Structure 1
Amino acid sequence: MILDEQLRDYHDQMIIASSRYVNHLANCIYIYYVSERYLLSFDVFYKIDDKYVERGELNQVLSGIEFIDESDEKQNILLDSCLELIKKIRKHYAELGKPSHTECFMIYDVDNNKLDIDYIYDARYETRPDHIHMTPEEEFDKWFEQAKSQGL
């Protein structure tokens, strides 16, 4: 399978796992991951009925008719499965002798079946100067706030 097809398959698996986590209630799924030499990170947030919500706060925006299991166990299953997919992406690039992206910002519009992806290829976290202390979690939080304020 060529690189683009395999990468799309891994991304589709991340989207499916993230959608299952919210019982397919999301209108949009926002995935951010980091894959640097010594660092792997994954997180996801959602837009549900025009409300932006992180994975551990879903029941706060639902009408009460729906309930999502936000337990640590269920969140860890999602995170672990997506981290494994990131490892597969990394391995696939290595097998092809190609440089892999180090960050990925994915927005999947469920309602319109549209996927937008932005890649970064330079390591930002492992090579950052000591005076810059941004972490992947802080970048994720920044993107979450940006999505809310700009209606991404």
Structure 2
Amino acid sequence: MVSICLEYVENKADDIYIYCSYEPKMYVFDVFYKINGKFVHKHQLNDATSGLTGQKNIIYDVSRERQRNLLKIGNEDLKLIHKKCKEFNRAMPTEMKLHYNVKLNSLKGKYRYDLVYSNDEELLPDDIFDSWLEEVKKNN
């Protein structure tokens, strides 16, 4: 997952935040980045590089097709993790929040095993993802 997220930004990000969720029969994968001190969704990468002085602006390919491929591969990886959990008779986390520090090559994760959104009539995985992004912004 880290590899595909790094490839998406051409290895040019400070931090990568990967959100994965599995609640009965639904897999969710999404990612946001810290680039030049700015936290951005995958479709906003170029917002983090515009207006920089003294540097050549990097132009990221954030086309819908590229975003769709990123999410597809992330979801496939999540399904493979679930398959391994079953293979080793382990519980599949309902939520994984992964933080990869690019410079330090360091990966940290937080895992949950209880239902997060499927037992709430109004809460969606996107709400959890956006809430995490706001929490990370606030704490940095």
Are the structure 2 counterparts of residues 25 and 92 from structure 1 closer, same or farther at C-alpha, using a change threshold of 3 Å?
Answer: same
Q: Could you tell me which of 95, 105, 109 is aligned with 1:113?
A: 105
Where does residue 129 of structure 2 map in the other structure?
140
Report the AA paired with residue 43 of structure 2: G
Instruction: Give 1:129 shift.
Output: 4.1
Instruction: Output the CA distance in 2 between the equivalents of 1:140 and 1:87.
Output: 19
The structural deviation recorded for 1:65 is 2.1
2:69 to 73, 77, 82: 77
Give deviations 1:14-72, integer Å, cap 9, x for gaps.
Answer: 01100110111111000001012211111100001111111001111114621111001
Q: Deviations over 1:90-122 (max 9, x none)?
A: 111111222111100000011112111000001
Within 1, Cα distance between the matches of 2:120 and 2:92? Answer: 22
Structure 1 position 61 matched with structure 2 position 48: yes
C-alpha RMSD of matched pairs (Å): 1.2
Structure 2 counterpart SS, 1:141 = helix
Secondary structure (helix, strand or coil) at the match of 1:69 reads coil
1:21-40 equivalences under 5 Å are 21-40=8-27
Q: Please state how far the C-alpha of 1:125 moved relative to its aligned partner.
A: 2.3
TM-score, structure 2 normalization = 0.91
Q: Which segments of 5 or more consecutive residues in structure 2 lack a partner in the other structure? A: 51-55
Q: Structure 1 pair 100/72, CA: closer, same or farther in 2 (3 Å)?
A: same
How many corresponding residue pairs?
Answer: 135
State the SS of the aligned residue for 1:56.
helix
Percent of matched pairs sharing the same residue: 36
Task: Give 1:124 shift.
Answer: 2.0
| TM-score normalised according to structure 1 size | 0.84
